[in-house]
A and B are shown apart, each in its own frame.
Chain A
Amino acid sequence: MKILEVEHVTKSFRKKKVIDGISFSVGEGKVVGFVGPNGAGKTTTLKLVTNILIPDSGSIHIAGFNILKEREKALANVAGVIENPALYMELSGYDNLRFIQRAYGKSKSDMEQVIEMIGLGHAMRQKTGRYSLGMKQRLGLGMALLADPKFLILDEPTNGLDASGIIELRALICRKAKEGTTVLLSSHILSEVDRIADEVVFIKDGKIVEESAMPPLRKKYLVKAGDAKGVLGQLASIRDAEAVLVNDTTVEFRVGAGDFAKAMRLVCQEEYQVQDIQQEGTQLEHVYQDIFREDA
């Protein structure tokens, strides 16, 4: 079941085509990364998906509802932060959340939960105009979460967040995904997408260049061990892992997020004398470089 289906969508501004017949889909319950360089059309696409902009041609369905013809039904499934948090700067954080709470008919306890989740309890009575960028981002995210959507769209959600904010956000997205929420995550921080996303859609010059073409993303690790061959032997028992011996003491391997814990269990045994494990780049970065070689 697809929560989002985009088919042959185009959009021009002043005769300049910024989205050129894109088609892609997002499966229910997935975390999908939406990746592309600046000006590729990521935010415009997300605005088209949420009916903030109207496409010149093509169709967009959310949860089976046409966004143009059944706008209200389609949008009932979506919430998100597009481009930057849509906040009313002259209202307090509490009033901003209260608006969403009333609009979606949520309870006050739902709101309290969200306030706790975004960690802004101390600043709820302040006007959001006085918030830092990170606080605004948290509040925007809170407003999206309060709607409790089936489909969550996040456009550069880590903008302005400090390290702990990024970690919390990552955990939050993973938790939402586990609860069955589909997440479309647009970000230029590839390592973030790489850690969270199940699939990735690449966009360049208003065109989709890759859609989930890669296998489940696997990270590359370097293991230094006294018995590198033994490590290699253990990793070979993991079906989707890919391991090579670099030298007598180093093994390079790639493994998906789901198998990482298993790999660690097998490798980190006393007999193999493991001295160091390092993550080295991601497969997503390599794919990105391949696709956007000119831009790189």
Chain B
Amino acid sequence: MASLIIQEIKQLKSSQKNRVLIIFWTMALLALIINYAQSYYEYSGGNAIDVQDIQVQKEMVLKEIDGFDWVSESEREEMKKGTAGRHDADAEVFCAIQEHDDRKLLSAVHSYWKSEEAEEKAYGYDTAHDRSEQVRVEATEAFRDYMYGYYSQLEIAAGEFWHYDRMVGFNFLYHAMEDAMPIACIVVALLAVVDGFAGEKESGSIKAKLLLPVSKGKLLAARIVGGTLYNAAALFLPLLLLFLLVGGIQGFGSKDYLVLEDCAGIKTAEAIDGKLDNFDIYSYTITYSKDFELAGKYCVGISQFLVGQDFEDKEGITPVPNGRLVFSSIWKFLLRASLYQVLVILFSVSVGNFLSIFANRRGIATAAGLIVALVFCAVPSRGSGMFLISPGTYKSGVGILGGTAGVTALHAVSFLLASLLVLWAAMVVIQRRRDTVC
């Protein structure tokens, strides 16, 4: 069995196609580094452009309002005042970010919120509603969105502050594991193996294995194990080398990342406001390195602000009640994420080999693999946990990023079971159509 596994790895290693895949993957990681480097550069000094954009946008909207001939002159003036106020507040947010002034940022976001309210009032949006009810609903929604993280209104209001991460070793590793690996584990691993049987059938080399005194089940198992080991190495080694490279040049950063733990929405919301309705929020993890500790504090402070508590009454910014602001070791995250990703690779390799059993030509198998890989990557699954094959699940915040070991384990076991199911199906095919692998 060991000799068969070694042979599979050697074959994959010597394949021209797999070399191309590894180069492609390495280039993707380099692109990620460049992206973060660029983002950091823009964050550090390029915000003036954003402020200018806001001013341009403001002028455009004001011109549009001038054309609203169905409202009175006084109403138009009110609307223009409201719109101008909101845009100015927006610009203030960006300036605060640029100046790295946390108190100014909070104040700017506060102003933004108030100006938005004033704008809505000028447009008459609030007349049909009870104002306090509207604020409550909006605050609830904003908080919920915030708690989900990436899609929050706050994020937009704060000029996507959260994306701009300093490019140090551990930040690169974290983001590569979060952004690039989920796609690569499916696409690279699947394409690396999908023409395995088909290629050997085409060249006739499969006869060397079929003549060995081992069962066809063992041949399949060796292919799966060899494929998984090879792809795990092919995907993780470039990541590790680039991590060392980035760390060597930019420094490795902190080994800790910020976590807001046990922050179940209901508990937090009730503790802060005491009036909010229950809404369903899972535990949330803020995932920024220690270098961006401030980011976490902003999150917490703004959350309090959004649910109606006046932050100006507070001395500084405090963690959310019932939630714990802690630093967690990046190693813990990496260990869990790696385990999870290896299982995703196992699954992809199993699916790839399953497809390969049916094809007699390398090209057909590769085309089938591409289609399946695209389907896997395209399946929307945010938070559902139903489409385990999609990287979307991985990114949804429920799995690895969700923070609970139990959920991660559940997903990992699901991938393992799914892989076994595919293998079982492959064995059935081999047994029923035994000439298929010849």
Contacts and interface: CB of A to CB of B under 8 A. Distances in A.
Interface of A: 47, 50-54, 71-76, 78-80, 82-84, 86-91, 95-96, 99-100, 102-104, 143
Given A50-B210, A99-B3, A99-B7, A89 B215 contact: no
Which of A73, A80, A100, A103 gathers most chain B CB within 10 Å? A103
B220 to A, nearest CB: 14
Given A95-B10, A103-B4, A86 B434 contact: no
Given A83-B204, A88-B205, A51 B210 contact: yes
B11 A91 contact: yes
A54 B434 contact: yes
Which 10 residue pairs of A and B lie closest in terms of their CB atoms, listed nearest first?
A102-B3, A86-B208, A86-B207, A76-B213, A75-B213, A90-B14, A54-B434, A103-B3, A72-B213, A99-B7
Given A72-B214, A82-B207, A88-B208, A52 B438 contact: yes
Contacts of B3: 99, 102-103
B438 A53 contact: yes
Interface string B296-308: 0000000000000
A88 B11 contact: yes
Given A102-B3, A103-B3, A103-B4, A50 B208 contact: no
Contact of B210 (A52, A83, A90, A102): A52
B211 A80 contact: yes
A47 B206 contact: no
B278 interface: no
24 contacts: A47-B438, A52-B207, A52-B210, A52-B438, A53-B435, A71-B215, A72-B213, A76-B213, A80-B211, A82-B207, A86-B208, A88-B11, A88-B208, A89-B203, A90-B14, A91-B10, A95-B14, A96-B208, A99-B6, A99-B7, A99-B10, A103-B7, A103-B212, A143-B208
A90 B15 contact: yes
A90 B438 contact: no
B127 interface: no
B435 A79 contact: no
Contacts of A53: 435, 438
Interface of B: 2-4, 6-7, 10-11, 14-16, 203-208, 210-215, 434-435, 438
A50 B14 CA distance: 28
A82 B205 CA distance: 11
Contacts of A79: 211
Given A52-B438, A102-B6, A103-B3, A87 B205 contact: yes
Which secondary structure dominates chain B's binding surface? helix
A82 B263 CA distance: 67
A174 B183 CA distance: 58
A89 B208 CA distance: 12
Contacts of B11: 88, 90-91
B187 to A, nearest CB: 22
Which of B2, B203, B215 gathers most chain A CB within 10 Å? B203
B160 to A, nearest CB: 46
A149 B212 CA distance: 11
B211 A50 contact: yes
B208 to A, nearest CB: 4
Contacts of B213: 71-76
A56 B435 CA distance: 11
Given A71-B213, A86-B205, A99-B10, 7 more contacts: A80-B211, A86-B207, A89-B205, A100-B208, A102-B2, A102-B3, A103-B4
A47 B206 CA distance: 12
Nearest to A127: B14
Given A89-B205, A90-B15, A75 B435 contact: no
Nearest to A143: B208
A58 to B, nearest CB: 15
Nearest to A90: B14
Contacts of A71: 213, 215
A68 to B, nearest CB: 9
B8 to A, nearest CB: 10
Contact of B211 (A75, A88, A102): A75
A87 B208 contact: yes
A52 B204 CA distance: 11
Nearest to A92: B14
Contact of B204 (A84, A90, A91): A84
Given A86-B204, A89-B205, A52 B6 contact: no
Which of B4, B207, B434 gathers most chain A CB within 10 Å? B207
Contacts of A104: 212
A205 to B, nearest CB: 21
A78 B211 contact: yes
Contacts of B215: 71-72
A80 B15 CA distance: 26
Contacts of A54: 434-435
A157 to B, nearest CB: 15
Contacts of B2: 102
Contacts of B211: 50, 52, 75, 78-80, 82, 86
A83 B207 contact: yes
A66 to B, nearest CB: 14
Nearest to B15: A90
A270 B207 CA distance: 56
A142 B213 CA distance: 18
B11 to A, nearest CB: 6
Contact of A75 (B6, B15, B206, B212): B212
Contacts of B206: 86
Which of B7, B208, B210, B435 gathers most chain A CB within 10 Å? B208
A72 B203 CA distance: 24
A154 B32 CA distance: 55
Nearest to B206: A86
B9 to A, nearest CB: 11
